Each structure stands twice: as structure tokens, then as C-alpha cells.
Structure 1
Amino acid sequence: MIRKKSRREESLDHAELARLLPAPGDPHLSLDRHLLLEEHLMSEIQPAAPAPAPSRRPARRVLLIGVPVTAAALAGAFAFTALTGSGGSGPAAATPPPVEAPVVRIEPGSTAQLASTVEHIAAAASARKTPEPGPGQYIYIKSKVSYLVVSHTDADESKALVQPLHIREVWNSPDGKQGWLDEPGYKPKGGITLDSDVESSLGGPSYDYLKTLPTDPDALLKKIYKETKGQGNSPDQEAFATVGDLLVEQLAPAKLNAALYRAAAKIPGVVVVDHAQDAAGREGIALAHVDQKSGDRAEWIFDRKTYAYLGSRAVQVKQAYGIKPGTVIQSTAVLERAVVDAQKQRPGAQGTRA
């Protein structure tokens, strides 16, 4: 699942964008997808005003989607990224060139074992000891990730390109006010600050905010639907995506984790996929939901024996926006989750693993 991105507030040079891109064809893009495409292309191809504070979580969906991108425009975007880095300021190593997205066999999902699988997952989450970060400490998450770059190019409409698998490390204070992101090749060398004065919410939760959420699954799901109304491609899809976002780069109290899984099981369309693989190559069982508009299935992957959360995957199950079925457009794996005593500190003698 790829994360929400704020829309640019300043006006875009539409004439320049039109010169770089071919005339759009069918199917027509929604306004949100046009804005997402314009935002990324313009920020990568030409120097722009200072970027807003970066998101604490990776983009939920894609960087460029829905239209063929010319080879020249794609090359220009990556050449510019290699010189300036992607986000923040300061020198950065060259951004690795994209690679062809993997294609897997689409395994059908089923509701037959949904209730029992979710109960196993929730029970394991409740029993798992979760450290509580204190003042001055940071929640550390190390992941291996890959996200879609373009749905297809004018040279090959069957080929989707993704980022090579790479490491992403995030530090967040419990109150969400201080943070740091290190993503070599995609952020300036050494990383970028995630400091923010924005109030925490479901769209960008802090640990302290998560502690205030109800642990009754029905009340929790009601709150999620209410606060995400009008977002996403459908209420059910957005509810599932919101719960999934809370699993990726955050530490949640054990009771809330269990409630999130039980709430997700009540979302229409959620199924169990018996076999799924995370970005680290670990096999597991998945809870999944198909976005009927974009045609991809978001999968949360759990260890088959311990039911611990491993990572996520998004697989295209319906042809849409030039992406053929079976294409893996997103893959993540949580490698470490811990509480540490300082920003940029990695788990060790002073860290407490979750």
C-alpha cells in the first residue's frame, strides 16, 4: 500500500507538462491521479520551491500512474533526482534506476478461514510484549521496500517499473513532533528531518495518538469510516488502507493492534490469501482487499506459525492503467521494530526490540 501525498499548493507549469507527456488516452484519469502525476513529474524534472515537510510514511499508492511516460521524460526525471536527491536538501547519491516489476501468479482469496485467521492474528498481537516508548525516546522501524515508479512507458506498454528493493529507516518520537528518515538513494545523504507541528490523526498518527483510540473493534471501525469519509476510491477500500498504514511504520499498543485486525475483518471484501511473500522473501498468509477502481489487491502478510506481521504487498489483479494482472506494484518487509534512546540510534544494547 502506498501512502497519501499532499497536493501541491502552488500552480503547476501545465504547458511544460504537456510538452513532456503525450496526449492522454483512455481510460481517463481521475483528478486525484492527475494531481499526483503532475506533482511528482514537476518536482523531479525542474527545480521547484522548497518541498513541504515529508510524510512520515511512504506513499500509499504510486509515484506515477495511469499514463504512458516517454523515455525522455523518465530519463530526465531520474537524471534530475540523481543530482538533487528525492526530497529534502543536500547532496545525495545517484538514485538507482528502476527495474521491471515482478509478476506473480494471482492466488484467489477466500473468506472461509477469515474469522479463525483473524482471531489467531489478534490473539498473537495481544500476547506479544510491546515496549512503551517514554519521553526522549524514539520508535525505530527498519524496512525493505519497493514502490511503483511508472505503470508503463511508450517503449513497452506491458512493462511496469518499480524501485529496486532498498532499506528505509525511520525514527519517530512518541508525540510525533520529532523524527528522522534515512532512505539512501531516495533521500539526501544522511537522511532528512521529519519534525512537524501538525496534529496527529489517523492519516499521520503518533504513538501517543494511537493510545487514545478505542480498542473495541466496532467503535474503532466506526471512527475510521467517519474520519476517512470521502477519501480513497471507496469507503471500504480507504478503511482497509488506513488500518494497513498503521501497521507499517508505527508501534501500536498490543490491545489496539488486536482491535485493528478484528476491525479489518469486518470490512466488506476482506479475504484471506494462503500464500504471499514480503519484500524480504518471507512466505506467509495474508489479509487482503481489492481496490475495485485501481484494480490492485493490498495484502498484509503474517508469519504462518507465529502470526507476527511481516510486511505488505500490492498485486494488480485487474488490468488497469496499463498494469497487467499479477504485477507486484508494491512490496515491503519490516526488518526491525524497536524503541531506542536517541534519534538516529539503531537498536543495540540501549534499544528495546518490539
Structure 2
Amino acid sequence: MIRKKSRREESLDHAELARLLPAPGDPHLSLDRHLLLEEHLMSEIQPAAPAPAPTRRPARRVLLIGVPVTAAALAGTFAFTALTGSGGSDPATATPPPVEAPVVRIEPGSTAQLASTVEHIAAAASARKTPEPGPGQYIYIKSEVSYLSVSHTDTDKSKAWVQPLHIREVWNSPDGKQGWLDEPGYKPKGGITLDSDVENSLNGPSYDYLKTLPTDPDALLKKIYKETEGQGNSPDQEAFATVGDLLREQLAPAKLNAALYRAAAKIPGVVVVEHANDAAGREGIALAHVDEKSGDRSEWIFDPKTYAYLGSRAVQVKQAYGIKPGTVLECAAVLERAVVDAQKQRPGAQGTGA
């Protein structure tokens, strides 16, 4: 979800360099997308400034997904990266340059096996033992991820650019008030705090909040639609995306996990995609939904034998914003999900695996 922010004044150095660059074309962006692009560019040219703590829930498609970027803007980003090193003078902490987004064959989805597939997934979730985090403990999620950087440049509208696959680790306390994020190359060395006093909601749920949600699929879905009303490109897409966000970097009680899957199956437009790969290259079966406005399909990927959640992927299925069909806009693979005894601690002798 993109929040509107006040437009910040451009620094003198940025303005001076901008005068040396070719004049940008007219990308016809909405105000929200202009502000999002501006925020990304400012973060590139001001590496010394402390990184703002992200929302508790990873911002959906936060990294300029579906945003056409002019050649001048991209040149400015690369120019400032070259001048500042983006992540500092240490090559180990510099932000890696984007790479060309992979393009895959689009496999059609079907509702023929939807009911049975969801029941398999829900039954497996109900039977899976989920650790209960206690006071002072943290929920640890380790993922391999890649998100879109820019959709295209004016000089080459046939390619989209994404982050190279990299590791992302998150620690969250059960009440959601303390947390830590370590994402080398994309956050300051050592990570950043996720501490927050913001009240929990579906847009930023803690484990304690998730325990309060109804486990009846109909009641759960009704609550999701009500609390996300007016967000996203459509009510159905926002509901699907909200459930997906709850699966990605959080630990949910087994009964709620099962209810989330059964609720998702009731969202109009949800289909089964029989073959999909997560960021780690693991092939699975997916539950998917197409955003009709942006033209991309969100996919939740599950092990085809155990029906355990593997990760997620977003694939462009309709031409939009200059992005050609088959382009993988983002992908993620959950590598570890556990409860540990301290912030920044990784699973081991004192952690309980999930």
C-alpha cells in the first residue's frame, strides 16, 4: 500500500546534476508513483542519511513495481550510485546494480482443482506443529528475495530491471513492538530497527494480533474485506494481497493458517497454477490471482507433496506500463521460519524451528 507523502525539496547537488542530464520524457505517472520514485532516488543519493524503519508488514510491491522510469531518471540513479557508492566505500556494503528481470513462460491458471488443492494445503497447515513464541522471544524469518527496481528505460522498453537475489532476515517480537531487519546491500550494515508503537492491524500484524483473528474462513474473509476497503486496485486483489503478506514474513497459529487458505479460495479470480518456481528455484504448485489493472499475477507457491508454503512470485501476464508478459517482477523463498530467544539470534541450539 502506497502512502502519500509531502514532496521534499531537491538538494542543490541533485538539481545541479539534473541540469546536466537529458530532459526526461513524459511518463504519465500518477502523483503517488511520482512520489514513490522520488523517494527511491533520494535514498540512492543520500546514503549517509539514516534509513527509515519500514512498516511492520513488507510494503506491497514497494520497489517501484509497474513504474515506468525515464532514461534520465535511471541515468541519475546510476550516476549518483557511481559518485557515492550507494552503500558506502566498502564494496561489501554497496548496493548491487540491478539485473535484467527473468522472463518465464506463462502457465494458465485453472479453477478445476482449486477446492481440492486448497483443502490439501489447509489440512497440511492444520497438522503442522507451529512453535508458540513467548515473552522475550522473537519470530525469525530468513528469505531469499528479489524485487523490481525499474520497469524500463526510454532507450530500452523491452527490459525490466530487478535486484539480484539476496538474503533478507527479519526478527519480530510477538507483540510487534520490537524488531530488526538485516538485508545486506539494501539496508545499512548490520541492519535497521523495526521497533514500533503503531497499533497492530491487518496492514501490520503481530503474532499476538493474529491470535485474535477469527478462524472461520467466512468471518475472516469478511474482516479482511472490511479492513482493506478502498485500498489497492480492487477489493479482491487487495484481499488476496493481504493474505499473502500475512504468509510471507510472519508466524501464524496453525488454525489461522488453514483459515487463511480457505478464505483465499473464496476470493473471486483465484486459480491454481500447477507449476511455479520460488526464488530458490524450488518448483511447486501455486494459488494465484491477477491484478486486472496492473496486469501482474501474484502467486503463492507450495511444495507439491507436503503442501508446505515455499514462497511467492509476481509475474506480468498482461502488457502494462511497458512490462512485457512473462516478466518476473518479484520473487521470494522462505528458507527458515523459527522462534529464537533474542533479537539478531539465528536458529540454533536455543531456537525452535518452525
Q: Secondary structure at the match of 2:12?
A: coil
CA distance in 2 between partners of 1:15 and 1:217 (Å) = 53
Q: Deviations over 1:115-149 (max 9, x none)?
A: 00000000000000000000000000000000000
Shift of 1:73: 3.4
CA distance in 2 between partners of 1:351 and 1:242 (Å) = 28
Q: Deviations over 1:279-304 (max 9, x none)?
A: 00000000000000100000000000
Change in 2 beyond 3 A, CA 1:326/1:17: farther
Contact 1:92 1:189 in 2 (8 A): no
CA distance in 1 between partners of 2:251 and 2:202 (Å) = 14
CA distance in 1 between partners of 2:5 and 2:305 (Å) = 35
Contact 1:279 1:331 in 2 (8 A): yes
Change in 2 beyond 3 A, CA 1:287/1:67: closer
TM-score (ref. length: structure 2): 0.89
CA distance in 2 between partners of 1:73 and 1:319 (Å) = 22
CA distance in 1 between partners of 2:212 and 2:319 (Å) = 40
For 2:248, the equivalent position in structure 1 comes to: 248
Change in 2 beyond 3 A, CA 1:87/1:52: farther
CA distance in 2 between partners of 1:137 and 1:350 (Å) = 11
Shift of 1:34: 2.7
Q: Deviations over 1:273-330 (max 9, x none)?
A: 0000000000000000000010000000000000000000000000111100000000
Shift of 1:39: 2.3
Contact 2:87 2:94 in 1 (8 A): no
Change in 2 beyond 3 A, CA 1:173/1:65: closer
Change in 2 beyond 3 A, CA 1:44/1:240: same
Change in 2 beyond 3 A, CA 1:21/1:76: closer
Shift of 1:23: 7.6
Give unmatched runs, 5+ long, in structure 1: none
Shift of 1:252: 0.1
Deviates further, 1-10 or 62-71: 1-10
Number of aligned residue pairs: give it. 354
Q: Secondary structure at the match of 1:13?
A: helix
Change in 2 beyond 3 A, CA 1:23/1:292: farther
Contact 1:86 1:187 in 2 (8 A): no
Contact 1:3 1:60 in 2 (8 A): no
CA distance in 2 between partners of 1:278 and 1:346 (Å) = 23
Give unmatched runs, 5+ long, in structure 2: none
Change in 2 beyond 3 A, CA 1:270/1:18: farther
Seq. identity, %: 94
Change in 2 beyond 3 A, CA 1:5/1:127: farther
Shift of 1:36: 1.9
Change in 2 beyond 3 A, CA 1:25/1:81: closer
Shift of 1:105: 0.3
Q: Deviations over 1:213-238 (max 9, x none)?
A: 00000000000000000000000000
Shift of 1:31: 3.5
CA distance in 1 between partners of 2:72 and 2:12 (Å) = 20
CA distance in 2 between partners of 1:335 and 1:4 (Å) = 33
Q: Secondary structure at the match of 1:118?
A: helix
Contact 2:51 2:192 in 1 (8 A): no
CA distance in 2 between partners of 1:350 and 1:70 (Å) = 50
CA distance in 2 between partners of 1:105 and 1:159 (Å) = 16
Q: Secondary structure at the match of 2:339?
A: strand
Shift of 1:268: 0.4
CA distance in 2 between partners of 1:2 and 1:104 (Å) = 28
Alignment of 1:286-325 (within 5 A): 286-325=286-325
Give the aligned CA root-mean-square deviation in angstroms. 3.4
Contact 2:316 2:327 in 1 (8 A): yes
Shift of 1:65: 4.6
Q: Secondary structure at the match of 1:334?
A: strand
Contact 1:225 1:239 in 2 (8 A): yes
Deviates further, 81-90 or 196-205: 81-90
- Does the alignment pair 1:105 with 2:105? yes
CA distance in 1 between partners of 2:234 and 2:82 (Å) = 36
Shift of 1:50: 5.5
Contact 1:45 1:77 in 2 (8 A): yes
CA distance in 1 between partners of 2:64 and 2:249 (Å) = 23
Deviates further, 280-289 or 14-23: 14-23
Shift of 1:61: 1.2
Shift of 1:40: 1.8
CA distance in 1 between partners of 2:292 and 2:21 (Å) = 27
